[in-house]
Chains A and B, each alone.
Chain A
Amino acid sequence: MAHKEIQFAGFGGQGIVLAGYITGKAVSLYDGKSASMTQSYGPEARGGACSSGVVVSDDASKPVDYPKVREPDILVVMSQEAYHKYIDHLKPGGILIYDADLVTPEPARSDIQAYAIPATRIAEEKIGKRIVANVVMLGALVGLTGVVSEESMRKAIQTSVKKDYVELNDQAYTLGLEAAKQVEVSSHAEN
Chain B
Amino acid sequence: MKRPAVLTGEYFILGDYACAEGALAAGCRFFAGYPITPATEIAERMSYRMPEVGGIYIQMEDELASMAAIIGASCGGVKAMTATSGPGFSLMLENIGLAVMMEVPCVVVNVQRGAPSTGLPTLVGQGDVMQARWGSHGDYEIVAYAPSSVQEMFDLTVKAFNTAERYRIPVILLADEAVGHLTEKLVIPPEEELTIINRMPPQDPPGEYLPYRADDSLVPPMANAGEGYFVHMTGLTHDERGYPIITGEAHEKLIRRLIQKIRSHADEIIEYEEVELDDADIVVIAYGITARAALRAVRDARAQGIKAGLLRLITVWPFPEKKIQDLAQRVDTFVVAEINQGQIRREVERFVDRPDRVIGVNKLGGDLITPNEILEVLCQPSPK
Q: Interface of A with B (CB < 8 Å)?
A: 21, 24-25, 28-29, 34-39, 43, 63, 65-68, 70
**Which of A29, A39, A65 lies at the interface centre, i.e. has the most chain B CB atoms within 10 A of its CB?**
A65
Tell me the bound Cα distance from A24 to B12 in angstroms: 8
A38–B181 CB distance below 8 A? yes
A32 to chain B, nearest CB (A): 11
A28–B184 CB distance below 8 A? yes
Tell me the bound Cα distance from A163 to B181 in angstroms: 26
Set A24, A37, A67: member contacting B292, Cβ < 8 A: A67
- Kindly report which residue of chain A lies nearest to residue B289, judged by CB atoms: A67
Chain B interface residue count, CB cutoff 8 Å, equals 22
- Kindly report which residue of chain A lies nearest to residue B123, judged by CB atoms: A40
Set B181, B184, B293: member contacting A63, Cβ < 8 A: B184
The interface residues of chain B, by DSSP majority, are classed as: mixed
B184–A66 CB distance below 8 A? no
- Kindly report which residue of chain B lies nearest to residue A22, judged by CB atoms: B12
Set A21, A35, A66, A68: member contacting B185, Cβ < 8 A: A35
Q: Can you list 23 A-B contacts with CB-CB less than 8 angstroms, sorted by A residue number? A: A21-B12, A21-B183, A25-B12, A36-B182, A36-B184, A37-B12, A37-B184, A38-B178, A38-B182, A39-B181, A39-B183, A43-B122, A63-B151, A63-B184, A63-B292, A66-B292, A66-B295, A67-B178, A67-B184, A67-B289, A68-B178, A70-B370, A70-B371
B183–A65 CB distance below 8 A? no
Tell me the bound Cα distance from A24 to B299 in angstroms: 24
* A63 cross-chain contacts in B, Cβ below 8 A: 149-151, 184-185, 292
Q: With an 8 A cutoff between CB atoms, is B208 at the interface?
A: no
- Kindly report which residue of chain B lies nearest to residue A70, judged by CB atoms: B370
* B183 cross-chain contacts in A, Cβ below 8 A: 21, 24, 36-39
A56 to chain B, nearest CB (A): 12
Contacts A21-B183, A36-B183 given; 15 further ones with Cβ under 8 A? A29-B10, A29-B11, A29-B12, A35-B12, A37-B12, A37-B182, A38-B183, A39-B181, A39-B183, A63-B149, A63-B150, A66-B295, A67-B178, A68-B178, A70-B370
Q: With an 8 A cutoff between CB atoms, is B218 at the interface?
A: no
Taking CB atoms and an 8 Å cut-off, the chain B residues in 49-92 that contact chain A are none
Quick one: CB contact mask for B352-372 with A, threshold 8 Å, 1 for yes? 000000000000000010110
**Which of B12, B122, B293, B296 lies at the interface centre, i.e. has the most chain A CB atoms within 10 A of its CB?**
B12
- Kindly report which residue of chain A lies nearest to residue B372, judged by CB atoms: A70
* B296 cross-chain contacts in A, Cβ below 8 A: 65-66
Tell me the bound Cα distance from A36 to B371 in angstroms: 16
A130 to chain B, nearest CB (A): 25
A11 to chain B, nearest CB (A): 17
A65–B181 CB distance below 8 A? no
Tell me the bound Cα distance from A68 to B11 in angstroms: 20
- Kindly report which residue of chain A lies nearest to residue B122, judged by CB atoms: A43
B38 to chain A, nearest CB (A): 11
B185–A28 CB distance below 8 A? yes
* A66 cross-chain contacts in B, Cβ below 8 A: 292-293, 295-296, 370-371
A68–B12 CB distance below 8 A? no
* B371 cross-chain contacts in A, Cβ below 8 A: 65-66, 70
B12–A65 CB distance below 8 A? no
* A37 cross-chain contacts in B, Cβ below 8 A: 12, 182-184
**Which of A28, A34, A67 lies at the interface centre, i.e. has the most chain B CB atoms within 10 A of its CB?**
A67
* B295 cross-chain contacts in A, Cβ below 8 A: 65-66
B7 to chain A, nearest CB (A): 14
A161 to chain B, nearest CB (A): 14
- Kindly report which residue of chain B lies nearest to residue A160, judged by CB atoms: B12
* B122 cross-chain contacts in A, Cβ below 8 A: 43
- Kindly report which residue of chain A lies nearest to residue B12, judged by CB atoms: A25
Set B150, B299, B368: member contacting A68, Cβ < 8 A: B368
Tell me the bound Cα distance from A34 to B150 in angstroms: 12
* A24 cross-chain contacts in B, Cβ below 8 A: 12, 183-184
A35–B10 CB distance below 8 A? no
- Kindly report which residue of chain A lies nearest to residue B185, judged by CB atoms: A28
* B289 cross-chain contacts in A, Cβ below 8 A: 67
B110 to chain A, nearest CB (A): 20
Taking CB atoms and an 8 Å cut-off, the chain B residues in 5-60 that contact chain A are 10-12
6 cross-chain pairs, A with B, having the tightest CB-CB distances, nearest first: A25-B12, A37-B183, A65-B296, A66-B296, A28-B185, A63-B149
A22 to chain B, nearest CB (A): 9
A65–B182 CB distance below 8 A? no
Tell me the bound Cα distance from A43 to B122 in angstroms: 9
Quick one: CB contact mask for B124-150 with A, threshold 8 Å, 1 for yes? 000000000000000000000000011
* A28 cross-chain contacts in B, Cβ below 8 A: 12, 184-185
Tell me the bound Cα distance from A88 to B248 in angstroms: 67
Tell me the bound Cα distance from A38 to B181 in angstroms: 7
**Which of A29, A37, A39, A66 lies at the interface centre, i.e. has the most chain B CB atoms within 10 A of its CB?**
A66
